[in-house]
A and B are shown apart, each in its own frame.
Chain A
Amino acid sequence: MATRIKLTRRARDRAPAASTHLRPAGRLPGSGHKVIDFRGVSKLYAGDVGLDQATFSIERGEFVFLVGSTGSGKSTVMRLLIKELEPTAGVIRVAGHDLDQVSRKRVPYFRRNVGVVFQDFKLLPNRTVYDNVAYALQVTGGSRKEIRAKVPDILRLTGLSTKLHNFPHQLSGGEQQRVSVARAFVNHPPLLLADEPTGNLDPDTSIDIMRLLYRINRTGTTVLVATHDQAMVDKMRRRVLELSRGRIVRDEAAGFYTRDETTRDLARRLRAPSTRPPGL
């Protein structure tokens, strides 16, 4: 347990640094600084193909979209990444852990390295905004002092300072998703997963959430967003992985985007009328 916590702390200390900063040597033998590495990963569901020989990797600090229609395997990838599912074949490495080597007992400690945001928010219904975020810290054994210092910080970042003592059912969808993002990021994990984070939200609110995710990405955290919001993906101009029937059919490291675009510029661009950039 101690080593895992240390790992998270290290990730946090490293977070504000630019993405050129190298990982401490020797932690990831043979995988450079890949945060996600899929090698020939397949997943079968009682005969149906969920994922078929998927091979890809995502570097630290990247912002990647995972697109595809319903049933293409997006959710399978997401669930494999947090070891909610076991692959039928292949090797998955996440944040330096070979998932096959993570025992069932160690899964909770592994998951603290990965923040997850869901389409349906998955907030704890009988806890306030503050307590929902604090729970992620309590789980890792965070002291009361640490919680009192960190939670208001992250809630300010996500624009929820005025909603501390509201319960989830008193919030709008966009606000609930912000709480969910705050909870996922409060531990400063090296990797943030978002499964259809804007699926239940209107376009304006979706832009706010994307902006928030981008801001988190700018602190050095790798972000992987599964979505079928094609317009949003086009506008964001980030790397896109496309799945179709369990196969990776497109891996486009969009060369257009400038990595150091400010969140303000990003939002301005997203709100502008849709202009499909040439070549996409």
Chain B
Amino acid sequence: MRVGFFLREAVRATRRSAAPSFAALATVLVTLLVLGVFIPIVQATNGAADSVRSRVEVDVYMKTNATAVQEARVRQEILNIPHVKTVQLVSKQTAYEQQSKLDPAAYRLLGTNPLPDTFHVIPDNPANVLAVHNALTPPTAGGGTGTIDPSIQSVSNRRNDTKKILEVTNLVTITAAALTVLLTIASILLIANTIRLSLYARRREVEVMKLVGATDWFIRWPFVVEGIVVGAAGAGLAIAVLGIAKVALLDPLASNWTLIASPRTISFTALVIVLMSAGVLVSALGSGLSLRRFLRV
């Protein structure tokens, strides 16, 4: 493989047909910019949806006179239920402090602490919250629902709220995924089409090369190299713009806007790698494949 020759050919072609090369580069740049902005947004949205869903939990209120031994037993019972991820005890003291901070006047009036010890039960998957809830409140002989332990006062019943949260967040996630797929397809089509146009302008050149006795790959390699160069340049520019925007606009905001700082968002390094490889791959494949039509002489 004469890498040097193909490289020189690609550089010559890029220089000599600057306008179509620039058009391809601009297309790569714009589509990758849009993708580069869109991917973190989708991920932040998904992250937000997930964090909403992770707040889906079941609260188990103990009787006010429950002893520490009883509480330890209940904790063990809850942990034995399938799909339970964590169980967290909030003592009546902690709960009182939290609540009185929110509404000091009301709690000062009350004087005593009416709040019970509470277990926050978080399921392994928000979708399993109802199953956990059912397990905590088995049906009784009389037809109503009881609790799994006599020291439990009650189990929170937020069946409707939970259902709504699950539905809405599901919709958000699916919409974001669909948009990502559509945008990716649009980017690929746009880049492929631009490359096709720039090749169409040079189809006569390809024809002449074939008549002189050049093999398909001998003709194709410079075009593929050119695609790689143009794709890398476009991706590089897009990444530079994104990087500047991140440092100048996003980072100052991230400290007081948790959505942006959301740990679920793709890291900038990963985003750079994704965009660069997407730009190079699509351009190189696009050039190589689009050329097939013109190689049939």
Contact yes or no, B297 A84, CB < 8 A: yes
CB-CB under 8 A from A127, the residues of chain B are 12
Asked if B208 CB lies within 8 Å of chain A CBs, one says yes
- Asked whether A139 and B212 contact (CB < 8 A) given A124-B205, A125-B205, A126-B12, the answer is yes
Contact code string A104-126 (vs B, CB < 8 Å = 1, else 0) = 00001111100010000011111
Contact yes or no, A82 B211, CB < 8 A: yes
Contact yes or no, A139 B218, CB < 8 A: yes
Contact code string B185-212 (vs A, CB < 8 Å = 1, else 0) = 0000000000000000000110111111
A266 CB, min distance to chain B CBs, angstroms = 28
CB-CB under 8 A from A19, the residues of chain B are none
Contact yes or no, A138 B17, CB < 8 A: no
Q: Which of A164-217 contact B (CB under 8 A)?
A: 183
Task: Report, as a range, how many residues of chain A touch the other chain.
Answer: 20 to 34
CB-CB under 8 A from A122, the residues of chain B are 204, 207-208, 211
Asked if A38 CB lies within 8 Å of chain B CBs, one says no
Complex CA distance for A116 and B5, rounded to whole angstroms: 24
Contact yes or no, A111 B213, CB < 8 A: yes
A74 CB, min distance to chain B CBs, angstroms = 17
Contact yes or no, B213 A126, CB < 8 A: no
Complex CA distance for A260 and B214, rounded to whole angstroms: 35
Complex CA distance for A138 and B6, rounded to whole angstroms: 11
Complex CA distance for A270 and B246, rounded to whole angstroms: 77
Asked if B99 CB lies within 8 Å of chain A CBs, one says no
Contact of B212 among A84, A125, A126, A135 (CB under 8 A): A135
Contact yes or no, A136 B17, CB < 8 A: no
Contact of A136 among B5, B204, B213 (CB under 8 A): B213
Complex CA distance for A108 and B214, rounded to whole angstroms: 6
* Chain B count of residues within 8 A CB distance of the other chain: 19
Contact yes or no, B17 A126, CB < 8 A: yes
CB-CB under 8 A from A123, the residues of chain B are 208
Contact yes or no, B211 A139, CB < 8 A: no
B287 CB, min distance to chain A CBs, angstroms = 17
CB-CB under 8 A from B12, the residues of chain A are 126-127
CB-CB under 8 A from A116, the residues of chain B are 211
Asked if B16 CB lies within 8 Å of chain A CBs, one says yes
Complex CA distance for A84 and B296, rounded to whole angstroms: 9
Asked if A140 CB lies within 8 Å of chain B CBs, one says yes
Contact yes or no, A135 B209, CB < 8 A: yes
Contact yes or no, A140 B213, CB < 8 A: yes
Complex CA distance for A86 and B297, rounded to whole angstroms: 12
Contact yes or no, B13 A139, CB < 8 A: no
Complex CA distance for A110 and B210, rounded to whole angstroms: 11
Contact yes or no, A126 B13, CB < 8 A: yes
Complex CA distance for A34 and B228, rounded to whole angstroms: 47
A124 CB, min distance to chain B CBs, angstroms = 6
Asked if B215 CB lies within 8 Å of chain A CBs, one says yes
CB-CB under 8 A from A82, the residues of chain B are 211
Q: Which of B210-236 contact A (CB under 8 A)?
A: 210-216, 218
Contact code string B1-40 (vs A, CB < 8 Å = 1, else 0) = 0000100000011001100000000000000000000000
Contact of B214 among A84, A125, A139 (CB under 8 A): A139
A84, A108, A116 pick with most chain B CB within 10 angstroms: A108
- Asked whether A108 and B208 contact (CB < 8 A) given A84-B297, A126-B13, A126-B16, the answer is no
CB-CB under 8 A from A111, the residues of chain B are 210-213
Contact yes or no, A109 B212, CB < 8 A: no
Q: Which of A128-160 contact B (CB under 8 A)?
A: 135-136, 138-140
A99 CB, min distance to chain B CBs, angstroms = 15
CB-CB under 8 A from B211, the residues of chain A are 82, 84, 111, 116, 122
Closest to A109 in B: B213
CB-CB under 8 A from A135, the residues of chain B are 209, 212, 214
Contact code string A2-42 (vs B, CB < 8 Å = 1, else 0) = 00000000000000000000000000000000000000000
Complex CA distance for A259 and B213, rounded to whole angstroms: 31
Complex CA distance for A116 and B210, rounded to whole angstroms: 12
Q: Which of B264-297 contact A (CB under 8 A)?
A: 297
Closest to A1 in B: B215
CB-CB under 8 A from A108, the residues of chain B are 210, 213-216, 218
Complex CA distance for A112 and B209, rounded to whole angstroms: 11
Closest to B212 in A: A136
4 smallest CB-CB distances across A and B, nearest first, come from A126-B16, A111-B213, A112-B213, A139-B214
Name A's B-contacting residues (CB within 8 A).
Answer: 82, 84, 108-112, 116, 122-127, 135-136, 138-140, 183
Extra 8 A-B pairs, beta carbons < 8 Å, given A112-B213, A122-B208 = A84-B297, A109-B215, A127-B12, A136-B213, A139-B209, A139-B212, A139-B218, A140-B213
8 A-B interface contacts by CB (under 8 A)? A84-B211, A109-B215, A111-B211, A126-B12, A126-B13, A126-B17, A136-B212, A139-B218
